[in-house]
Amino acid sequence: MADQDPVFQIQRVYLKEASLEQPNSPGILLEQENPVVDIQLGVEASPVADGIYEVCVTATVQTKIKDKTVFLVEAKQAGIFEIRNLPQDQLSQIMGIACPQIVYPYLRGNVADLIQRGGFPPVHLSEINFQAMYEQQQKDAEGAPAGSLPQ
């Protein structure tokens, strides 16, 4: 029954969205102090058509000196994947672990390039263990009962 064999194929990887802001330039560029770098990552998945899913990995990189932003980069790298004939729990794992692992290297390169083209030394996003990230998200989702506060 070839129709029931599991299918996992990359259809396309693309830069969905990217922005670079330097709201305090040029004055902030004269500062001698080293900036503080804050990096936030996110993963989201959504169905596009029957058996076709878009998985996006988002990065927000903000550097500040004191309370002033040096630069802010927001980028969303996406992939379209054909995923068929998998149980729901495996589908969730594929979209939460395997797909982001495929998309993330493109995001890393685009973020570093965008920052460098903005006139700054590139910020290289570190490698991410998407399996650990996925497992933590699952644990958080199962976690505390509604209305309780974290300890």
Domains and CATH numbers, the chain: 2-122 (3.10.420.10)
Q: Which stretch of 51-55, 58-62, 92-96, 118-122 has the lowest confidence by average pLDDT?
A: 118-122
Q: Looking at residue 2, what is its pLDDT?
A: 58
Query: Secondary structure of the chain: what % helix, strand, coil (to 5)?
Result: 35, 40, 25
Predicted TM-score of the model (pTM): 0.85
Look at the chain and count its residues.
Answer: 151
pLDDT band for 148, please (50, 70, 90 cuts): very low
pLDDT band for 101, please (50, 70, 90 cuts): very high
In this structure, the number of other CB atoms found within 10 A of the CB of residue 120 comes to 17
